[in-house]
A and B are shown apart, each in its own frame.
Chain A
Amino acid sequence: KQEVTQIPAALSVPEGENLVLNCSFTDSAIYNLQWFRQDPGKGLTSLLLIQSSQREQTSGRLNASLDKSSGRSTLYIAASQPGDSATYLCAVIEAGTALIFGKGTTLSVSS
């Protein structure tokens, strides 16, 4: 059974710092991996989708990498801002199933 783990569970950084969020999964036979952001009391906003044949995706200050063989993905946030404060969720999808989520990393960026 696929399990997704995110480390750390919480992270506090000063504004301007570069940071890395980690995601690991137990079964490398995934279809895609997707990173989401969730603000308190809100739905999920998709940040980046990495398909199984890809190794990374970039959007603005965000860069996500995928290493299927080792069961790992990282989300790199450059020059963090207070507006980046949120919970970041990693999810994998296997063929014929739905998204399987980690429990998230709650990020707090102080000004």
Chain B
Amino acid sequence: SQTIHQWPATLVQPVGSPLSLECTVEGTSNPNLYWYRQAAGRGLQLLFYSVGIGQISSEVPQNLSASRPQDRQFILSSKKLLLSDSGFYLCAGGLIGNTIYFGEGSWLTVV
């Protein structure tokens, strides 16, 4: 089965600083990859998804970006964080038609 690795698990960043969250996938090739955000008390919001290297679809206009430099690597970035970027970020991946797996999440607090 697949495993989704996500890091860092927790980070506290000042407003205006850059961000890089990394996600890697084990156990499969050519997965679809996703970044979700879960704000406190709210549902899961899809941020980006990717069907292949260099192919990124953005669901929500914001100051975040995503990249997929390798088949099993997905990176979420920001050049300048806002307070509203605080939340729980989840990476997910899987093959179409099969189970989608999630990582353990990254807690981001922007101060």
Contact = CB atoms under 8 A, between A and B. Distances in A.
Whether chains A and B associate is: yes
Interface stretch (B11-19, B69-77, B92-100): B92-100
Nearest to A44: B102
Contacts of A65: none
B78 interface: no
B44 A101 contact: yes
B9 to A, nearest CB: 10
Contacts of B49: 97-98
Interface in A66-111: 89, 91, 93, 97-104
Interface residues of A, number: 23
B26 interface: no
Interface residues of B, number: 23
Interface string A18-50: 000000000000011010100001111110010
Interface string B42-59: 111010010000000001
A63 interface: no
B98 A49 contact: yes
A49 B98 CA distance: 8
A31 B96 CA distance: 9
Nearest to B50: A98
A45 B34 CA distance: 15
B90 interface: yes
A91 B44 CA distance: 10
Contacts of B59: 98
Interface of A: 31-32, 34, 36, 41-46, 49, 51, 89, 91, 93, 97-104
